[in-house]
Amino acid sequence: MARTSDLGRVLTAMVTPMTPEGAVDLDGAVRLAVRLSESGSDGLVILGTTGEAPTLSKEEKKELIRAVVGAVGGAVTVIAGTGSYDTAASVELTREAEKLGVDGILAVVPYYNRPPQEGLYRHFQAILQATSLPVMLYNIPSRTGRNLEPETVARLAEAPNLAAIKEAAGSLDQVSQLIQVLPERVRVYAGDDSLTLPMLAVGGYGVVSVASHLVGTQIQEMIAAYLEGRVAEAARIHHHLYPLFRGLFITTNPIPVKAALEMVGLPAGPPRLPLPPASDAEREAIRQALRQVGLLD
């Protein structure tokens, strides 16, 4: 039987801190995880897009899971990204992550090989069957080259441990379709910070956020205001944070958020190739976004 778990409403898609030489900085990851757990995050999603999972070795992934679970497990939920374009490898890493004590699994749509919907269904079905943990699907067509259709998600919802979907297709129509076809226990999360509030309005539950590295408490306040009927206050917070939501995506994620974390003195380090560090012009735009939301003088 699947474990039941409220993964939380504000989940931070945590960066993987690196040393200047490009090694995984486990001490930095622990410091950052603790900081996030104390500043508005209900949970941490590690080894996702923002965590540069495709460039980490299997052993590095296991070490990062151990470190983060050891640091904040029990205080916040820890969700591990275990999906890739290889079903067998995704299943294997899912099983290992469960043994290492994570609270949930993030499984991205297979990228590059662009399977049809039946292939997506079988891929995710294999992952769901490999674990008793709650599973969050991750739909991001701009990166994977394939949209996970609501009808396919509805088929997958027959599995008792399908808990959520991180929806980053950028379409409120698709979010509305998901809300209509999914059972209430399968929660829909925004995969884009700027769409958190609009998605709440059509039935979304929360957000897997990049900006919550920096403004997690304010995102929590925005969601609480909306849920309590203070819609104008929620909109005010959204518009206050909007420059940061945009600034963290002026180039490929996680280049901007790593630069932003460095600017405010939090562990991040450089991204790994093929992602380069932020350029001087990008850094100035990121710095300006941080100033606009009051994070830098």
Return the bridge partners of 11, or none: 43, 208
User: Catalytic pick from 166, 189, 226, 258?
Assistant: 166
Weakly modelled stretches of the chain, pLDDT under 50: 1-4
Query: Which of 61, 62, 121, 138 does the annotation list as catalytic?
Result: 138
Q: Which helix (H) or strand (E) element contains residue 90?
A: helix 87-99
pLDDT score of 104: 98
Position 5 scores a pLDDT of: 59
Q: What angle do CA 56, 193, 43 make, to 5 degrees?
A: 60
In 3D space, the residue among 95, 100, 101 whose CA is nearest the CA of residue 82 turns out to be: 95
107's CB contacts (< 8 A; 6+ apart) are: 81, 82, 83, 90, 94, 124, 127, 135, 136, 137, 138
204-232: pLDDT as tens digits: 999 999 999 999 999 999 999 999 999 99
> What residue ranges do the domains of the chain occupy?
10-220
Q: Is the separation of the CB atoms in 219 and 245 below 8 Å?
A: no
Q: Give me the architecture of the 10-220 domain, per CATH.
A: Alpha-Beta Barrel (3.20)
Give the three-state DSSP class for 31: helix
CA distance 94 to 105: 7
Q: Among 201, 194, 147, which residue's Cα sits nearest to residue 174? A: 147
138 is catalytic: yes
In the annotation, is 58 catalytic? Answer: no
The widest CA-to-CA distance across the chain, in whole angstroms, is 52
- The pTM of the full predicted model, rounded to 2 decimals, is 0.96
